[in-house]
Amino acid sequence: MAQKPMTKTQLVAALADKMGTQKKEAGEALDAITDIITEEVSGGGAVTLPGVGKIYCRERPERMVRNPATGEQMKKDADKVVKMTIAKALKDSVNS
């Protein structure tokens, strides 16, 4: 059975414990990192988190899609999607 994902509160508590700081400071650090990643990726850049992976934005072309309920074909406009490539070190640690 799969575990529930770690919540932000749990992540902040774990980060504060690792850093040896208060939860408030750890929460501010996490929020700052999130803001930096959001700004960079939404601007078309990429962010590499060493040991975790690379977060980037990719453009998808205009394409034809099918409505699964009706089977009707329709055109979907071009859009952007956020992707993440997982680092080899993280993959290896999970599979060992």
31-82 per-position pLDDT tens digit: 999 999 999 999 999 999 999 999 999 999 999 999 999 989 999 999 999 9
pLDDT at 96: 85
Entry pTM: 0.78
Question: Which domains are assigned to the chain?
Answer: 1-43 (no CATH), 47-96 (4.10.520.10)
- In Å, the largest CA–CA distance within the chain is 57
- As a three-state string, the secondary structure of the chain is CCCCCCCHHHHHHHHHHHHCCCHHHHHHHHHHHHHHHHHHHHCCCEEEECCCEEEEEEEECCEEEECCCCCCEEEECCEEEEEEEECHHHHHHHHC
pLDDT at 3: 85
